[in-house]
Structure formats: structure tokens, C-alpha cells
Structure 1
Amino acid sequence: MPIDVRRRARLPTWLLALVFTTFTFATDDYVIAGVLPALSADLGVSEAVGGQLVTGFSLAFALAAPVASVVTATWARRGLLTWALALFVVANAAAAFAGSYALLLGLRVLAAVAAAAVVPAAYAITTSLAPAERQGRYLALVMGGLTASLTFGVPLGTWVGGAFGWQATFGLGALLGLVALIAVRATLPETPPAPAMPIGRRLAPLARPQVLLGLLGIVAIVLGSMMVLSYLAPFLRDLAGAGPTELGWVFVLAGLAGLAGGQLGGRAADRWGASRAMTTGVAAFAAVMAALTCCQLLRPVPLLALLPLLLLWAGASWWIPPPAQSRMIALAGPAAPQALALNSSAVYVGVSCGAALGGVVLETYGSGWLPAAAVGAELIALALFRAADRGRYAAR
């Protein structure tokens, strides 16, 4: 009996390959921040312009994900991941030798298109291969690759760039992509593509009001989180006097808390159902933001006293995505792969809007009002999810 228990608990190798794949893509997206000064100086552009390499990657991903999902709907999943990862490897290898900003930006867009084809497909594959009672947990693990990139991948890429030059950072991206490609080819079973059907019929479920409301809810959730995360440095500086060193440790610990939160959110989705688990996560997030708003009355607050709230915030933020993905799959039905692609786009829209609106709040009212604005965004998200659930039940 103990042997059987261990066998049941062992994670399948294809799942680990998909986790490493999402880790690779997220590392490649975010690592620019760590080598930005050297990269900008070598290419003869300002750091503000150099930073648009991240914007270009994110925007290309958001636009390409839904299109790629429709175009590749009838492709064999293993073949899709193979060709997309190969394109990603080539784009990063070429980026290591790019001599101009324009060429590097084009290669970043190419890498983002490859990522946009793979990430939603990875979620769909995980959903189809996971046992029903472990779907949320398996999705949480695949999404955990995104969190792990901030904790491990970005620091590694930054160190490589500092030691060997920014070009080596893209070489590292190519190497990680090659390892992911080999792992996928070696472990991922062939999963049948979606049956051929007219595009209009395939996408019809996406026009359901509950699906659209759910996507808007995702935008609101991410927007609220990014309003604070994008300006965490001035927020903690004003509230606790924290500098760059303290901020670095906060990011590391928050990344670990996010990994734990994602796993707990996935388990909650399996045990409680996706809607209840997601509502719990959003409510917890809003409560933490409300507490951080109240801390403004006690300034200055020691960073150690704030740390539990910051870790709860990170855990709640990453608790939400697994049940959100499971819920979107249930709402979209046969259009689940396309819904997951739109879900990924909604995340990137939320990232962009959250940073923009957070900047407005920061400039107009000061950093102390960022958590309060985030509470408002989360309450809007809760209302949207409630409306989507009512529409779902009314449609039955």
C-alpha cells in the first residue's frame, strides 16, 4: 500500500516539462530588467526605450495568443509545442548576436509569438491529461513556472548578464528553450487536436455574456495587483523606508509565497469548486489591500511588521489564477483552448492597464492610495464574477 500511495503522488514527467516550459518563457520576458543598463548603452538607446523590449514582448503575446489559438486549433499538440519552442530557441539565439535595437525588438516579438502559441496550449494539454480530481493542482503547477521565473529565473539571467554580458542572457534563454524542447519531445504524449469545425461555430461559446464577464473580471484582478506591484518600490519607501536591498528580499520571499499560494489555490479549486475558490482568493486579496491602506495611518511602519501582509498579498495573488483557469474552461466548453488564450491576453491587458492607472494614482494622490485603488479594482472583479455566475446558471 505505501508503494501505491507514492506512485499516485508522483508527478508525471510531462507535467514537469510543461512547468519548465512556462518558467522558460516568463524568464525570457522579465529578465530584460536585469540587464537593461548594459543593453541600452551598447545599443545606443535610452533605458526608457530599452525597457520597451518588455512592452513589445508582452503586447505581442497579448495580440498573438487568441489568433494563434484559432489558427493552430486543429494542429497536433505535441507538434505545435515542438515547432513553437524551436522558433523560440532560434529567436533567442539570434538575439544574442543582434547589433541593433530594431533587430532585437523584432526578435523579441518573434519569441513572444512562439510563447503565445505554447502557453495557452500548455494549459489546455494539462486540463485534458490531468485526472479530474487534480486538474486545479496541475494547472497551479504549470502556472507556478511563471512565479518561479521571478524568484529563480530572473536573478539567474541577471547574474549571467552581469558576468558575461547582456548577450549571454539571451544565450541562456535559447539554452532554456532547448532544454524545454527536449523535455517536451521526450515526455509529452500525443494529444489529439480539436476536431475540425467552422471557426464561427468553434468561437461561438466565447460570445456568451458569462465568458466575457469572466474575462473582464480577470482584467480587473490583474489590474488591481499590478497597480501596487508596479510601484512597490516607492510604496515601501514611503511607508517603511525600504531601499533596494530590502526590496530585493521582499521580491524573493513574495515569489516563494506566490508559489505556495498557487498550489493552495489549485487544491481549493479541486475541493471547493472553481468559483468558490476564486472568490475566496479575491476577497483575501482585497482584505490585505485594505489593511495596507490602514497602515498609512501608522507611518513609518517597520518592514518586518509589514512582511506578513506582503506575503499574504503574494499568496492571494497567485491563489487566484488556477481556479480562474478552471472556471474559464467550464464556462467556455468546447472553446476552452481559445478561452484560455483570451484569458492569457486578459492578463497582459490587466498588466498594462494596472501599471498605467497605478502611475496616475501615484502622481495624483501619492503611493499610500495605491492599495485603496487596488481594493476598488478587486471589488469590481468580484461583481463581474458574480454576474458571470448568475448568467451561467440562468443559461442552464
Structure 2
Amino acid sequence: MDENPTLQKAASPLRRSLPGWLIALTLTTFTFSTDDYLVAGVLPGIADDLDVSEAAVGQLVTVFSLVLALAAPVASVLTATWPRRPLFTVALAVFAAANFAMPLVASFPVLMALRVAAALAAAIVVPGALGAAAALAPPERQGRYMGTVFAGLTTSLLLGVPLGTWVGAVAGWQGAFVLGGLLGVASLAALYATLPEPPRGEALRLADRLTPLARPALLLGLAATAVAVLGNLMVVTYLAVYLRDLAGVGPTGLGVIFVLAGAAGIAGSQLGGPAADRWGAERALLMGCGAFALVMLGLVACWPLRPAPLVLVVPLLLLWSAAAWWIPPAASARLLRLAGPAGAQALALNSSAVYLGVAAGGAVGGVLLDAYGSGALPAGAAAAQLVALALFGLASRRATQGKP
């Protein structure tokens, strides 16, 4: 017998609400992303207490990102057949323990070793969280659910990093790492209480898991993701310098702009996933990269107006952040489709591409800044997005022609 229409109507908002396990996965990506950047807010204190240079302490961020980028694909292959719930539980326990131990050490090499342990845990869980969201999502909401998990990364820029900096100012650098440990415990508890075991994929040989990852269409997409992130981080890393030179923005104004840009990034990640579900991942990617490039060209046009009015600059910055975070959910949905049963490994490689793009973006942006000044940064970012756009388009054509 059909259900009562009134009951169906009443239940529809519940069906549209986010499941608890999805919120827990989003908290988990928020935790790892916040921990990656905690060092930035407490760098001088660590340098003073451990008697090392500030440049050396900065490598705690670099090492975390590089270890995650290099270890994620390996961890994904090694743990491909392991149940997700116990795997996430152990990894988060290691992560929390590493953070809780950091305030107790008086040796920089030991601190670095603990940082590596935390990054290895992140390398297991971050791509695994995206894979779990995709596996548990209704087919028509796969992009939307992955976009929600990506929102944990953008929220960390809006809330996590400022919170860590504030805790560091009140309780020292030790307190900032205790915060990281507490977030790890909260994520562990939330996942343990809410996450069902995702459906198991096919039992495949190692060669069967790796072969799809060598498809040109998939590799081109990974390269495009890395280049797109590179272009974004060229601007993010040196945004304070650029806005100072463009519009005379000081520390207070910069903080407000970062908050607004973070909120726009969350909105972008929430819109990019549904766009991939509705119009297809390839079209959503082309829209995101194209919008990013156009916004960067708009900022280039603002440069001759120095000091440019904020009423003109801020909307462009909000569109930039939304476009930048529109891209990752669509890129992940595309990889899952191309990789088939090797989807978990493809998502791990995607995480690697993202973090390599983060590292390269700061380096390339620094070269441009030194050689041509901050005004060159949007032009360089626009060029990077056009390259990413071309790579995504080429990958899409190969896939459409049956040459994945």
C-alpha cells in the first residue's frame, strides 16, 4: 500500500537533512586541516622555547603537507581492504596522541617526528573520508556529500586557524597542540558514534587497483587539480601583501576579508558538488576554472586604480574564493567515475595533487612576487587556471572519445 502523502511530505525535510555521519566526516577534515596550519599562529613561541630558527619551525607545516601528499596513495593501496571504522578509529587515536605529546617534548627533532606521525594519520583518513562520503551517499547526491566534506577544509580557514592562534596567545604553543588533540578526540567520538561501515568494493588484485590510475584522462585530471590549487595558493599565500599594495588594507581589514572569503569558500564547496550532480563533473569543472580565471583578470584590471576601492575589490575576492572551492568536489566526482573500483586510490592521489599544489603555489608565487611585485600574482593565477582549464578539457575529450 502507498504511504500516506501527508507523511511523505512531512518526512521530506528529514530526507533532505544531512546525516550525522556526514557531519562527523566534515568535522574530521576540519580537524586535520586546522592542525596543518596551527603552527603558523604559534611559530615564534616554538622557536623561542626550543631554541631553533623560525624558518626551521615553518618546516613543520611543509613536512605535514608533504608527508600527507606522499603517503596518501600508499596508505590507500595498503589499507584498501581494511574496514573503515576501525581504521579511522586507530588513525585518529594516533593523531590525537601525537598532538597531546607535543607540549611535553623539549627537542625539535622529536617534535618533527610527532608531526610526521600526525600527518601519516591524516594521509589515511582525509581521502578515506571522501571515499566514505561517496560510498554512503545516494547516487544523485554524491557530489553534494563530497562537497560537504570539503567544507571542513574551508571552515578551518574561517574558524580553525583563528581559533588556534587565539588559544596559542592565551595558553602558548602547547595549548594550540592540545586543541589539535581535543579536535582529534571529538572527531574520533563522532565517527565512532555515527559512521556506518561503508559498502565494501570489489576484491581486487593490487595490479587491478593500480591499472586504472594510469589512464591518461585520470592523470590529466590530477595534473589539472594540482595546477588549479597552485593558482589559488599563489594568491592566498601572499594575499596580505597584495591587498596592502592594491588597496592599503591593514591587519584588521585583512582579518575581515579572510572571514568573508572563508564564508564564500564554504558556499562554493556546497554549490560545486550539486553542480557536478546536476550538470556533470566536467561541465562543473570548466565553469569553476573559467570563473576563477575571469575573477583574476578582474583583479588585474584593478591594479592601475591603486589605491583601488574596496567596494570593487572585495566582491571580486569573494567570487574568487567561491570559484576556487567550487572545483574540488567536482574534480573528486570526476575521478571516482573514471577510476571505477579504484576510486579510493584515485581520491588519495587527488589529495596528493591538492597538497603538492599547495606547496608549489607558495613557491611559484614567491618567485613572481620577488621578480615582478605583488601585482603579478593575479595574472599568474589566471594563467594557471587557464592551464588547468585546458587540462580538464583535454581529459574530458579523451574520456568522451573512449580513451580514458
2:346 partner amino acid: A
- Cα distance in 2 for partners of 1:340, 1:76 equals 17
Structure 2 match to 1:308: 315
- Cα distance in 2 for partners of 1:192, 1:140 equals 20
3-state SS of 2:129 partner: helix
1:217 partner amino acid: A
Match of 2:190 among 183, 191, 207: 183
Structure 2 match to 1:288: 295
Q: Deviations over 1:191-221 (max 9, x none)?
A: 2444433211211000101011001000110
Structure 2 match to 1:121: 128
Structure 1 match to 2:39: 32
1:20 partner amino acid: L
Q: Is 2:143 the counterpart of 1:148?
A: no
Q: Is 2:166 the counterpart of 1:159?
A: yes
2:261 partner amino acid: A
- Cα distance in 1 for partners of 2:283, 2:15 equals 27
Q: Which runs of 5+ in 2 are unaligned?
A: 1-5
Q: Deviations over 1:123-181 (max 9, x none)?
A: 11110100111111111110100011111111111111111111011111111111111
Structure 1 match to 2:70: 63
Percent identical residues: 59
Match of 2:348 among 323, 341, 345: 341
User: TM-score, normalised on structure 1?
Assistant: 0.98
Structure 2 match to 1:325: 332
Structure 2 match to 1:219: 226
2:133 partner amino acid: T
2:73 partner amino acid: P
3-state SS of 2:187 partner: helix
Match of 1:138 among 132, 142, 145: 145
1:251 partner amino acid: F
Structure 1 match to 2:96: 89
Please say if residues 285 and 392 of structure 2, whose CA atoms lie closer than 8 Å, have aligned partners that are also in contact. Answer: no
* Count of aligned pairs: 396
Please say if residues 50 and 106 of structure 2, whose CA atoms lie closer than 8 Å, have aligned partners that are also in contact. Answer: yes
- Cα distance in 2 for partners of 1:131, 1:192 equals 12
Written as runs of structure 1 = structure 2, the 5 A alignment for 1:210-249 is: 210-249=217-256
Deviation at 1:334, TM superposition (A): 1.2
Q: CA RMSD of the aligned region, Å? A: 1.1
Deviation at 1:303, TM superposition (A): 2.5
User: TM-score, normalised on structure 2?
Assistant: 0.96
Please say if residues 120 and 341 of structure 1, whose CA atoms lie closer than 8 Å, have aligned partners that are also in contact. Answer: yes
Q: After TM superposition, which residue ranges in structure 1, 4 or more long, deviate above 3 angstroms?
A: 192-196
Please say if residues 220 and 350 of structure 1, whose CA atoms lie closer than 8 Å, have aligned partners that are also in contact. Answer: yes
Deviates more, 1:296-305 or 1:332-341: 296-305
Q: Deviations over 1:222-253 (max 9, x none)?
A: 01111111111111111111112211111111
- Cα distance in 2 for partners of 1:59, 1:328 equals 22
Q: Deviations over 1:42-86 (max 9, x none)?
A: 111121111111001001101110000000001001111111111
Structure 2 match to 1:75: 82
- Cα distance in 1 for partners of 2:226, 2:335 equals 13
3-state SS of 1:31 partner: helix
- Cα distance in 2 for partners of 1:197, 1:6 equals 39
3-state SS of 2:354 partner: helix
